[in-house]
Structure 1
Amino acid sequence: MNAISRRLVVGSVSVTLALTVAACGKAGDDNKSDSGNGSKTIGLLLPDTVTARYEAFDRPLITKKIQELCADCKVEYDNAAGDPAKQAQQVSSMVAKGVKVLILDAQDAVGIKSSVQAAVDKGIKVVAYDRLAQGPVSAYVSYDNTKVGVLQGQALLDAMGSAATPSSKIVMINGDDADPNAAEFKAGAHSVLDGKVTIAYEQSGLWKDSVAAQKVTAAITSVGKNNIKAVYSANDTMAGGIITALKGAGISVPVTGQDADLAAIQRILLGSQTSTVYKPAKPEAETTAEIAVALLQGKDIKTFAPTTKVSGSKDNVPSKLLDAVSITKANIKSTVIADGTYTAAQVCTPDVAEQCKAAGIQ
Structure 2
Amino acid sequence: MSTRARQVSAALAAGLMTMSAACGARDDTGGDSFTVGLLLPSRAVPRWEHSDRPLIEKRLKELCPDCSLEYANAENDAARQQQQMMSMIANGVRVMILDAADTKALRSSIQEAREAGVPVIAYDRLAEGPISGYVSFDGAEVGRLQGEALLKAMGPEAEKDYVVMLNGDPTSPNAAWYRSGALSVLKGRAKIGKSYEIRGWSTDNAHANMSAAISALGPDRIGGVLAANDAIAAGAVSAFKSAGVRELPPVTGQDADLEAVQRIVTGEQYMTVYKPFRSEAAAAVAMAVALGRGEDVGDIAETATDSPTTKRVPSVLLTPEAVTVGNIEPTLVKDGVFTVDQICTPDIRSACDRAGLP
Q: Which residue of 2 aligns with 1:325?
A: 321
Residue 338 of structure 1 is matched in structure 2 by 334
1:95 deviates by 1.0
Aligned counterparts of 2:81 and 2:312: Cα–Cα separation in 1? 24
Structure 1 equivalent of residue 284 of structure 2 = 288
SS of aligned partner of 2:171: coil
The superposition leaves residues 223-257 of structure 1 with CA deviations (integer Å, 9 ceiling, x where unpaired) of: 22221111110000111111000112133101000
Equivalent position amino acid for 1:62 in 2: I
Amino acid at match of 2:167: N
Check whether the contact 2:103–2:172 (CA below 8 A) recurs between aligned residues. yes
Aligned 1:200-215 pairs, distance under 5 A = 200-206=193-199, 207-215=201-209
Query: Following the alignment from structure 1 to structure 2, what is the Cα–Cα distance between the partners of residues 204 and 120?
Result: 32
* Correspondent of 1:307 among 300, 303, 306: 303
Which position in structure 2 is the counterpart of 1:35? none
Structure 1 residue matching 2:100: 3-state secondary structure: coil
- Cα distance in 1 for partners of 2:264, 2:287 equals 35
What is residue 74 of structure 1 aligned with on the other side?
Answer: 68
Residue in 1 that maps onto 2:178: 185
Q: Is the aligned partner of 1:217 residue 2:231?
A: no
How far apart in 2 are the matches of 1:256 and 1:345? Answer: 24
| Structure 1 equivalent of residue 237 of structure 2 | 243
Could you state the TM-score of these two structures normalised by the residue count of structure 1? 0.88
Q: C-alpha separation between the residues in 1 aligned to 2:66 and 2:129? A: 29
Match of 2:345 among 342, 349, 354: 349
CA contact (8 A) 1:39 1:98 kept: no
Q: Residues of 2 paired with 1:218 and 1:65: CA distance?
A: 44
Query: Which residue type is aligned with residue 177 of structure 2?
Result: E
Segment of structure 1 superposing worse, 243-252 or 253-262: 243-252
Partner of 2:169: 176
The alpha-carbon deviation at position 39 of structure 1 amounts to: 6.3
The answer as to 2:190 corresponding to 1:194 is no
**Counterpart contact for 2:170–2:198, Cα < 8 Å:** no
What corresponds to 2:258 in structure 1? 262
* DSSP-derived class of the 1:308 partner: strand
For 1:180, the aligned partner's letter is P
2:99 corresponds to? 105
Question: Is the 8 Å Cα contact of residues 51 and 237 (structure 1) preserved in structure 2?
Answer: yes
**Identity across the alignment (%):** 48
Task: Report the equivalent of 1:23.
Answer: none
In 1, Cα distance between equivalents of 2:345 and 2:161: 36
2:71 maps to a residue whose letter is: Y
- CA distance in structure 2 between the aligned counterparts of 1:223 and 1:168, rounded to whole angstroms: 10
Structure 2 alignment gaps of length 5 or more: 1-31
Describe the superposition over 1:150-184 as per-residue Cα deviations: whole angstroms up to 9, x where unpaired. Answer: 0011011111112111x421100000011111110
- Note the alpha carbon deviations across 1:169-205, whole angstroms, 9 max, x for none: 1100000011111110000000000111111100111
Residue equivalent to 2:3: none
User: Is the Cα contact below 8 Å between 1:135 and 1:315 reproduced in 2?
Assistant: no
Q: Decide whether the 8 Å contact of 2:36 with 2:67 is kept in 1.
A: yes
Cα displacement string for residues 260-290 of structure 1 (whole angstroms, at most 9, x for unaligned residues): 0000000000001000000011000011101
Amino acid at match of 2:297: I
Rounded Cα–Cα distance in structure 2 between residues aligned with 1:215 and 1:113: 30
Structure 1: gaps (5+ residues): 1-37
Give 1:29's aligned residue. none
Q: Which ranges of 4 or more aligned residues in structure 1 deviate by more than 3 Å?
A: none
Equivalenced residue count is 324
Instruction: Report SS of the residue matched to 1:164.
Output: helix
Q: Distance in 2 between matches of 1:204 and 1:309?
A: 25
Aligned 8 A contact 2:39 2:71 in 1: yes
